[in-house]
Amino acid sequence: MQLTDSTPNVPELLYLLHGDPTDLAEALAGMRAADVAEALRDLQPAPAAKVMAALPFDLAVQVFDEPELEGHRCEIIQQMGEKVAAPLIDAMSSDQQADLFRELPEDHRPRFLKVLDAPTREALSVLLRYRPDTAGGIMTTEFVSVPTTWTVDQTLQHISKVGRAKETVYTIYGVDPDKHTLVHVVSLRDLMMADRAKPVGEVGNRRKPLAVSPATDREEVARTISKYNLLALPVLDEGGHILGIVTVDDVIDAIVRESTEDVQKFGGMEALDEPYTEISFPRMIKKRAGWLCALFLGEMLTATAMGHFEGEIAKAVVLSLFIPLIISSGGNSGSQATSLIIRSLALREIRLSDWWRILLRELPAGLTLGIILGVIGIIRIVLWQKFGWYDYGEHWLLIAAVVGGALVGVVTFGSLAGSMLPFLLKRIGFDPASASAPFVATLVDVTGLIIYFSVAFAILRHTLLM
């Protein structure tokens, strides 16, 4: 509705840049951080650094905290220089600081680390140890924790004082007063409705808190937050102390990224890991060429298989007409089955051990779909022959039988191969999402040819293929 009325466009920004700096600052001050970040993405680093310098400090920090600025942030910061950038970086949330330093070229990091506050530097070096696709890699260290012996009143006053600097104040972590381990999680809502004199540890539900370890995969974190409708999830060390929290907004970003990766992998390529519009040409070619070559090498087996049937084709050229039709139908049914299974595995609707249940379901499904296509294929040949649109020779009825029979076999095999490939990949330790549509199609093409020519040989060996 009114989503875009405050978003400036790039020409506007550039115009303001060349005018009075106070005009620029004024125009930007009323904007939301996400909108400023979006506009900055379209600017070169030098003007973007100028815009950042003109922003009120609080807004500038929020802009740098936007994950949307990833990939641009580090260029802007290098443009600003470490002296100007230091207070901004210091004020960023710790998960975004870590992301920023991951983006900086290795040899520039020390220069920027040097000018930061000692505590920021220390926290950063801990966060940078975790892989970016784990809970440790996306967590932030700014959370509210209090001893469970504190009263509700004490805690609420504490939040009023320190709340500004925390990623979220809506979930409060209660720690053991002696051992400092996490023992209780309570929502701000529960605190506000509780008796002010009660100890925090006695407010809300007394269940054991949900938590993850820093090595937990971000997909797993996303699933937990989404399943339990949490606003944040604590990350604990082995002793049960809180290292940080992962908040729901980071999880949405992670879910969107994982979906992008899955779609790209399913399309038959490596995940780009950066927007299509921003990746450099050589990097994009690299991500695409690898799988394309692998699939090509696999598909070469079709030439080998075809070589074995060269004699049959020479005897009955008419058989070659249906090769693309038949093998592609197998690929299509395989692609459907794969997309279903990949997604069910990702959503944990099915487990690795369910493979035989899926097999028992895909076998009749493949047969049914194969029979449907087989009947259509037979009807097509009969119609074309009867109406004289094409002459399949004197044995046209047998040819129709070959095509129909092969379609049943190939489509059934496609469904089975397509549904089992993700399980197989997962079993041997690969990402099941690598079972791409082209991968399945390649698998099915080679087998499809063998099925087709076997059916042809069985039906035609006393006539055309004698």
Tell me which of 126, 284, 359, 450 binds a copy of itself, using CB under 8 A. Answer: 284
Q: How far is the CB of 270 from a copy of itself (least distance, A)?
A: 10
Q: CB–CB of 184/240 below 8 Å? A: no
Cβ closest to a copy of itself, residue 49 vs residue 262: 262
Q: Please name which of 181, 161, 165 lies closest in space to residue 173, comparing C-alpha atoms.
A: 181
Closest to a copy of itself by CB, 9 or 320: 320
Q: How far is the CB of 372 from a copy of itself (least distance, A)?
A: 6
Site for a copy of itself in 336-375 (CB under 8 A): 336, 338-344, 347, 349-350, 361, 364-365, 368-369, 372-373
> Is residue 71 close enough to count as binding a copy of itself by CB under 8 A?
no
Question: What are the phi and psi torsion angles at 146 (to 5°)?
Answer: -135, 155
Among 25, 272, 382, 450, binds a copy of itself (CB under 8 A): 272
With CB under 8 A, what is the number of residues at the site for a copy of itself? 121
Q: Determine which residue in the list 112, 130, 150, 322 makes contact with a copy of itself, applying CB under 8 A.
A: 322
The answer to the question of residue 377 lying near a copy of itself (CB under 8 A) is yes
CB atoms within 10 A of CB 430: 12
Identify any residues that bridge with 235 across adjacent strands, giving them in sequence order.
Answer: 212, 244
Q: How many CA atoms lie within 13 A of 277 on its CB side?
A: 2
Does 256 sit near a copy of itself (CB under 8 A)?
yes
**Among all chains, which residue has been given the structure tokens 């230091």?**
86
Q: Which stretch binds a copy of itself (CB under 8 A): 16-24, 125-133, 298-306, 453-461?
A: 298-306
Least distance from C-beta 176 to a copy of itself, angstroms? 16
Which of helix, strand or coil describes residue 208? coil
Q: Which of residues 416-445 bind a copy of itself (CB under 8 A)?
A: 436-438, 441-442, 445
Q: Cβ atoms within 10 A of the Cβ of 450, count? A: 17
Choices 78-86, 102-110, 123-131, 186-194; region in contact with a copy of itself by CB under 8 A: 186-194
Q: Looking at 16-24, 125-133, 226-234, 456-464, which segment touches a copy of itself (CB under 8 A)? A: 226-234
Rounded to 5°, angle at Cα 92 from 90 and 97: 85
Nearer to a copy of itself, 124 or 323 (CB): 323
The CA-atom distances, in angstroms, between 185 and each of 161, 223, 233 are 20, 19, 10
Residues 17-36 interacting with a copy of itself (rule: CB under 8 A): 30, 32, 34
Is 9 a residue that touches a copy of itself (CB under 8 A)? no
Residue 147 CB-density burial (10 A; 0-12 exposed, 13-18 middle, 19+ buried)? middle
Residue 231's Cβ-count burial label (10 Å; 0-12, 13-18, 19+) is middle
Residue with the two structure tokens 């973007």: 48
Cα–Cα distance measured from residue 346 to residue 77, given in angstroms and rounded to the nearest whole number:
37
Is there binding between residue 134 and a copy of itself (CB under 8 A)?
no
